[in-house]
Structure 1
Amino acid sequence: MARYTGPKSKIARKFREPIFGPDKVLDRKNYPPGQHGASKRRGKQSEYAVQLMEKQKVKYTYGVLERQFRNLFTKASSRGGITGDNLLQLLEARLDNTVYRLGIATTRSAARQLVSHKHVTVNGEVVNIPSYQLKAGDVIAVRQKSKTLEAITNSVAGRVINKFNWLDWNASELSGKFLAYPNRDEIPENIKENLIVELYSK
């Protein structure tokens, strides 16, 4: 698939945020990449540029392609409530993101790989679609024969207990339950979803 596989620090520097997790390069060079470095004078961004930048940041953060993202926005728009909140809830309900939030994988890209390689089950059935949308009550678990994988055991060993209120973790079974869609104030990412709504509303 058309996934970004280049340097993650370069993307983090572009947005000046550690969107892929702690980044030593970003700590040292907290300015956009380019041959002129921090010395290059950059003009004021237009309203459209700011909105587009926010959308791109969310796409990179959650590892979603343009068509997937637009489809999610359409779905979020058709639901009752605030469109921006709905969009983030749908992104959080993706299977790969939930595997990451549960601590089964250390990054979203690692979680996507675990799902694609059939190491994860939903309600007892193997699901290998990272974009699979979870519903309240769904149980996500590590497949029985995959529980000894070093990548999984190392990740689970370093997880923070009960970090997210909308998820319930069972350490002995290496499984978790998706309790409900999270409230906006429970999602820790620094995202201005109103800018994305304004962009798509043009």
Structure 2
Amino acid sequence: MARYTGPKTKIARKFGEPIFGPDKVLSKKNYPPGQHGNTRRRKTSEYGIQLREKQRAKYTYGVLEKQFRLTFEKAARSRGITGEVLLQLLESRLDNVVFRLGIAPTRAAARQLVSHRHITVNGKVVNIPSYSVKAGEIVGVREKSKSLEVVSNALAGFNHSKYPWLEWDKASMSGKFLHLPERADIPENIKEQLIVELYSKQ
């Protein structure tokens, strides 16, 4: 399973926000990394701004370059506004849905739960993080995995009403993917139009 394994705080500082989840170092050093990170004021080109936005989306959802491009191409072929469809496709990834349901504290942890066969879709184990969850499908925790500490800790106090496209059933420890999210409901700080503009030049 291909995934980003490099330094996370450095990337988070580059974007000035905790895109990998809570970060103690970022809260103390909220400026770009490097010797001149606190004083650098370099003007970024239009291409640089667009590239930065693509990198932000990639790191946020934990998708590598090739997979991200394929997702964009799928979005471009679909009906609707390409940028919004791109985010909807990323949001419907199984690892992201597990994270949104509060089953895991971060997307990386969600990816690991999926890969290690702790997650089910409609009652069947699915171990592919990039699996695209469809409207009406039920994502849950495998019966023998419900006592996992990482799962119970993540679910403790989690607000399941945050995302209107998901419905949580506490008794069965599962959630229903009601529909693709509206752009206004997706909380990620991503300017998807810049990504569309970047790929349109290539």
Q: So what's the TM-score if we normalise by structure 2? A: 0.96
**Pairwise CA distance, 1:27:** 2.0
Paired residue secondary structure (1:136): coil
Runs (4 or more) in structure 1 with deviation over 6 Å come to none
Q: So what's the TM-score if we normalise by structure 1? A: 0.96
Distance 2:22 2:152 in 1: 21
**Pairwise CA distance, 1:35:** 2.1
Distance 1:182 1:37 in 2: 36
Equivalent runs, 1:18-167 vs 2, <5 Å:
18-39=18-39, 41-167=40-166
Match of residue 195 from structure 2: 196
Match of residue 4 from structure 2: 4
The one-letter amino acid paired with 2:38 is: A
Q: Percent same amino acid at aligned positions?
A: 69
Distance 1:109 1:158 in 2: 20
Match of residue 168 from structure 2: 169
Distance 1:200 1:2 in 2: 22
Paired residue secondary structure (1:38): coil
Match of residue 16 from structure 1: 16
After superposition, the C-alpha distances for 1:65-92 in whole angstroms (9 at most, x for unaligned) are: 1111011101111111100000000000
Question: For structure 1, which runs of at least 5 residues remain unmatched after alignment?
Answer: none
After superposition, the C-alpha distances for 1:159-198 in whole angstroms (9 at most, x for unaligned) are: 1132100000001100000000000000001000000000
Paired residue secondary structure (1:140): strand
**Pairwise CA distance, 1:37:** 3.2
**Pairwise CA distance, 1:114:** 0.1
Over aligned residue pairs, what C-alpha RMSD do you find? 1.1
The one-letter amino acid paired with 1:6 is: G
